[in-house]
Amino acid sequence: MRAAIATLCAAVMILIPCGATAERVSLGHSGQTVLIPAAGHDRGEWYQNHDGTFENGYYWDHGGCLPPYAGGFAEAFDLGGGLLEAADFWFTQIGVYQQGTSMDVYVWTGGVSAPPSGVMHMVPDVTGMEIPFWPHVGETIVEIGRGIRGEFTVGYWPDWPGQQGQWYICADENGPAGHPWTNIAAGIGYPAGWNPVSIVFEDCRALGIGVLFTRDTSGIEEFPGGGQVVESPTWGRIKAIFAR
């Protein structure tokens, strides 16, 4: 049955030529998924809004994916003060266009009581994601090391602007409600900018994004990365500040 589902997904995707204008893509299948944790998942305390199972996967492609982060997905948290040590992302693919594309990982301010706003951290050009085939989903852990003083949003932008998408962020469609966001490109038929994922993918409750977070309100000023927020939204400006 799983092989049949994967074959059907691949057949549907092949019908969409590379020059098509399709912008929102979901797997459109539910069922039992198999989680493949990454090395290092057993350290510290992870927080997530999903329930540990995933029923779907999403991405934006072609005109829906543009820099600096239109076409990105994110999940918001409010854990008080502490150190955001790392983030994890649960991805899957169907193997039609997967080519090892990189992603940029972001931390924005806000996201719980209001939409995400300023960029306060970025890890550019993340590669080496080991993304299995649906219904297997794989975890990618990205180290961050950022002091946090309130609500924040963690997410990513896939580096395939104007092109066919390659892999999906996994989605929880039957768990407790989280704070899932997507940044929508202008002029494609949806409200532009940050919007709840359910504006586009109506069944989404939470995304497969979590954080490794150490709660600590003492000494927060000494945590690395505290304070700076990028005001300019340009891709080059953000990368110039945070490129390592």
Residues 6+ positions from 152 with CB-CB distance below 8 Å: 76, 77, 78, 84, 107, 108, 109, 110, 111, 120
Structure tokens at 56: 């779907």
For residue 119, list its beta bridge partners. Answer: 108, 230
Q: What is the pLDDT of residue 8?
A: 30
User: pLDDT tens digits, the chain, 244 residues: what are they?
Assistant: 333 333 333 333 323 333 345 478 888 776 678 999 999 888 888 999 999 999 999 999 999 999 999 999 999 999 999 999 999 999 999 987 777 789 999 999 999 999 999 999 999 999 989 899 999 999 999 999 999 989 999 999 999 999 999 999 999 999 999 999 999 999 999 999 999 999 999 999 999 999 999 988 665 554 555 555 766 667 676 777 766 5
Structure tokens at 18: 């590379």
SS3 86: strand
Beta strand 136-148 with 34-36 is: parallel
Report the sign of the C-alpha dihedral through residues 111, 113, 114, 118, in that order.
negative
Residues 6+ positions from 103 with CB-CB distance below 8 Å: 126, 129, 156, 157, 158, 159
Q: What is the pLDDT of residue 219?
A: 55
The span from the CA of 88 to the CA of 91, in Å, is: 10
pTM for the full predicted model? 0.85
* Rg of the chain over all Cα atoms, to the nearest angstrom: 17
The span from the CA of 18 to the CA of 112, in Å, is: 36
Q: Where are the beta strands (DSSP E) in 159-192?
A: 168-172, 180-184
Q: What is the pLDDT of residue 40?
A: 85
The answer to whether 118 and 229 have CB atoms below 8 angstroms apart is yes
Cα–Cα separations (whole angstroms), residue 32 to 26, 59, 229, 239: 17, 20, 40, 38
Structure tokens at 78: 């409010």
The span from the CA of 46 to the CA of 61, in Å, is: 30
* φ and ψ at residue 186, rounded to 5 degrees: -75, 150
Q: What is the pLDDT of residue 220?
A: 54
Q: What is the pLDDT of residue 173?
A: 94
The span from the CA of 215 to the CA of 100, in Å, is: 34
